[in-house]
Amino acid sequence: MEKERQNKKPILEVHHVSIWFTRYDQGIRRSSLPVIRDLSLTVEPGEVVAVVGASGSGKSLLAHGILGILPYNSHMEGEILYGGEPLTKERAEKLRGNGLALIPQGVTYLDPLMKVGAQLTRGRKDEKTKERCRQVLEKYGLGPETADLYPFELSGGMARRVLIASAVMDEPRLIIADEPTPGLDARAAGRILGHFRELAETGAGMLFITHDLELALTIADRVVVFYAGETIEEARAEDFQDEGRLRHPFTRALFRAMPSHGFAPIRGSQPYPGTVSSGCPFAGQCEAGRKECGEADRIPVQRVRGGLVRCLYPEKEETV
């Protein structure tokens, strides 16, 4: 299985991407606020990659950056490849809704004044599109009458399924799900995640952005841990079975914070974007942190035990 995956060409490659926000300080002084710094990840066909990070760590912007729909007051550097070729703004525009799909957070992402069907078909009125719309709704347990409902007539779970249906309208090769489960109970969330797994089984690559590590581990093949706009570790989901296999002190702390592993809180809080200009963003809270962790210009990414870690002194493998 592992070998098979390696032979596949990644559907999405993100290399050293940074995203800045331009804002005005005290009226007229312009400043650039880095929200995502030096981010790299890959998604292969049939694979679910989870990006896990706390709120305010810049996760949603990553999704918008890949789709090329960042707000006008931001800019992006670095390289994104889709199917091996650079994903330029123009190419992203062509691919959106046609190979590249987003599953957003909730019902506010549906036009409140437009019927569900019209939003799924994007205004196309041919029989084929209508038929496809009925198909995808049915696939997620929604009857054809759903197309005639307005978003305010949907329940929370229905809205979530409508959003997934809208993402798979055109059989995308890459699906980015941005926090698709908040507000759902465990069973409903589980059902939604089951749909994601199914999508991956059909060969689509899946980038699953969430703040819920436990939830992510139930379906992800690989987990990318995000902290204050930086990727600090990329690990296989199996690595999370055992704290000793994790590489970064923050990931270990995150592991210990899970209810099933001691429920130990992480001390301190994530720094605001733009406040950390050098060194490791976790340096202030790290128990193993040394002087140079906060002073080093940039912490390089190292390959450790088959995963990636951005740490000067990655944790040793140990059996706990």
Partner 1 sequence: MRHRLLFTAKKLLRMGLLLLGVSIVTFLLMSASPLDPLQTNVGQAALGTMSQEQVERLEAYWGMDTPPLERYAGWLTDLLCGDMGTSLLYRQPVTSVIWQRLSSSLLLLLSAWVISGVLGLLLGVAAGVWRGRWPDKLIRGWCLLLSSSPAFWLAILLLLVFSVWLGWLPAGLSVPIGMESSLVTAGDRLRHAILPAVTLSITGVSNIALHTREKMVDVLESDYILFARARGESMGSIVWRHGLRGISLPAITLQFGSVSEIIGGSVLVEQVFSYPGLGQAAVTAGLGSDLPLLMGITLITSAIVFGGNLAADLLYGAVDPKIRRRAAK
Among 102, 200, 224, 254, binds partner 1 (CB under 8 A): 102
Task: Rule CB under 8 A: say whether 134 interacts with partner 1.
Answer: no
Among 78, 150, 214, 294, binds partner 1 (CB under 8 A): 150
Q: How many residues does the chain have?
A: 320
Rank residues 168 and 225 by Cβ distance to partner 1 and give the closer one: 168
Shortest distance, CB of residue 309 to partner 1, whole angstroms? 32
Task: Rule CB under 8 A: say whether 101 interacts with partner 1.
Answer: yes
Of 27, 33, 119, the residue nearest 74 (C-alpha): 33
User: For residue 17, what is the enclosing H or E element?
Assistant: strand 12-25
Task: Rule CB under 8 A: say whether 168 interacts with partner 1.
Answer: no
- What are 205's two structure tokens? 């690559």
- What are 54's two structure tokens? 């706390």
Binding-site size for partner 1 (CB under 8 A) equals: 30
Task: Rule CB under 8 A: say whether 112 interacts with partner 1.
Answer: yes
Measure the CA angle with vertex 159, ends 158 and 164; round to 5°: 95
CA distances from 31 to 19, 20, 273, 313 (A): 13, 10, 13, 33
DSSP characters over 77-122:
EEEEEETTEE--HHHHHHHBTTTEEEE-SSGGGS-TTS-HHHHHHT
Among 64, 134, 236, 256, binds partner 1 (CB under 8 A): 64
Among 152, 278, 288, 290, binds partner 1 (CB under 8 A): 152
User: For residue 49, what is the enclosing H or E element?
Assistant: strand 48-52
Among 6, 26, 108, 319, binds partner 1 (CB under 8 A): 108
Task: Rule CB under 8 A: say whether 295 interacts with partner 1.
Answer: no
Rank residues 151 and 229 by Cβ distance to partner 1 and give the closer one: 151
Among 10, 104, 117, 249, binds partner 1 (CB under 8 A): 104
Strands of 140-291 (E only): list them: 174-178, 205-210, 222-227, 230-236
List, in sequence order, the alpha helices (H) in 202-245. 213-219
- Number of other residues whose CB lies within 10 A of the CB of residue 313: 12
Rank residues 94 and 290 by Cβ distance to partner 1 and give the closer one: 94
Among 5, 89, 122, 197, binds partner 1 (CB under 8 A): 122
Among 27, 123, 259, 265, binds partner 1 (CB under 8 A): 123
The one segment of 62-70, 186-194, 223-231, 234-242 that binds partner 1 by CB under 8 A = 62-70
- What are 117's two structure tokens? 């069907």
Among 40, 78, 91, 97, binds partner 1 (CB under 8 A): 97
Distance CA 294, CA 148 (A): 56
Among 49, 61, 110, 299, binds partner 1 (CB under 8 A): 110
Task: Rule CB under 8 A: say whether 11 interacts with partner 1.
Answer: no
The one segment of 38-46, 61-69, 208-216, 309-317 that binds partner 1 by CB under 8 A = 61-69
Distance CA 137, CA 135 (A): 5
Of 219, 178, 190, the residue nearest 49 (C-alpha): 219
Q: Which residues bind partner 1 (CB under 8 A)?
A: 64, 67, 69, 72, 93, 95-98, 101-102, 104-105, 108-115, 118-119, 122-123, 150, 152-153, 166, 169
